[in-house]
Structure 1
């Protein structure tokens, strides 16, 4: 939430490659800029993960990345659902001119918090490929990593498309 309020007016607060890709697909962001944003997002995650690994004695039991606790399919379904909800809220709170823009950070932050409470125990509630790739690369833990790439991208695309579908429908009187 703090980062959204800090730099959202500069970058649109794209800290998540799945959100960046979805915005590009929905023509709210230039496809030309997608590779640069994704590289920056991945580098940021790798540098943050490297810093944590350097400063703290991270044992395999204290791994700070995301790995499926249950099956990969369970985690994939959770990641799709929570990423769908996240992108739906992002679309409504930050891209629709009818929304109260000052509350976008709170709405997105609370959605992330609720998603973590619900899906965290099973999937780790990543919702962000960069958030999972950084720790995996730094600590060489790749178990189920595909879940955290496929799930958030699929869920975000679905959430963004669903919101745009209802946004385009006239309101019943």
Structure 2
């Protein structure tokens, strides 16, 4: 549980730091590729650090999928999800306090103007189908960045929502990633030798 908290904290703080810096510099500092690379590299660093301890889920959607398919003891699901969400809250409030963004809502994950709930749901639910985590996160951030944020992680969404007060369409980010994670894990389970 401690490994999930620390790993999720590092991941969410890194992502939010990059998003805030990019917004502060008008999208010219990191841009979408930089934000995606930052998220992917943070995942690589964290996964390599704690995978041997907790499996490096870093995301309640991943933990739910692992529990649903028997790869995580059911008794571990709630403590993992609680630690991941608490870490996201701590990281979001720290990022908000350290950077004092002019528009704190830039840290929140909400669909972009003109992106309907159906489109956002599809973008968020397909995010976790890929098994190659870091590459999938970078790819998904590049694809979904302009449309949904993207979150790919209910804990990341909750932390930033509470820290910024931005809750629009939050249900998408809480429902779609777990469904995508379960679909991805189930697909992997079906095709593995």
TM-score by length of 2: 0.73
- Change over 3 Å in CA distance of 1:61–1:133 after alignment to 2: closer
Listed one character per residue, the Cα deviations across residues 100-132 of structure 1 (whole Å, up to 9, x for unaligned) are xxxxxxx32111101111111111121110011
1:133 paired to 2:176: no
After TM superposition, give the deviation of residue 58 of structure 1 in Å. Answer: 2.1
Structure 2 residue runs without a partner (length 5+): 1-43
Larger Rg: 1
Aligned partner of 1:76 in structure 2 is 121
TM-score w.r.t. length of structure 1 = 0.81
1:87-98 map, 5 Å: 89=131
Q: Does structure 1 conserve the Cα–Cα contact (< 8 Å) formed by 2:93 and 2:163?
A: yes
The answer to whether the Cα contact below 8 Å between 1:83 and 1:151 also exists between their aligned partners in 2 is no
Once the two structures are superposed, what CA deviation does each residue of 1:3-53 show, in whole Å capped at 9, x if it has no partner?
000111111002100000100011011000111111100100000000011
Alignment partner of 1:110 is 2:110? no
Q: 26, 32, 42: which one pairs with 2:69? A: 26
Contact residue 128 and residue 148 of structure 1 kept, 8 A: yes
Which of the residues 41, 57, 79 maps onto 1:14?
57
Indicate conservation of the 8 Å contact 2:151/2:173, yes or no.
yes
Q: Indicate the SS of the match to 1:46.
A: helix
The number of aligned residues is 148
Q: How is 1:33-48 mapped onto 2 (pairs within 5 angstroms)? A: 33-48=76-91
Asked if the contact 1:74–1:123 (Cα under 8 Å) also holds between the matched residues in 2, the reply is no
Deviation at residue 54 of structure 1 after TM alignment: 0.7
Q: CA deviation at 1:61?
A: 6.6
The answer on whether the counterparts of 1:18 and 1:129 sit within 8 Å (CA) in structure 2 is yes
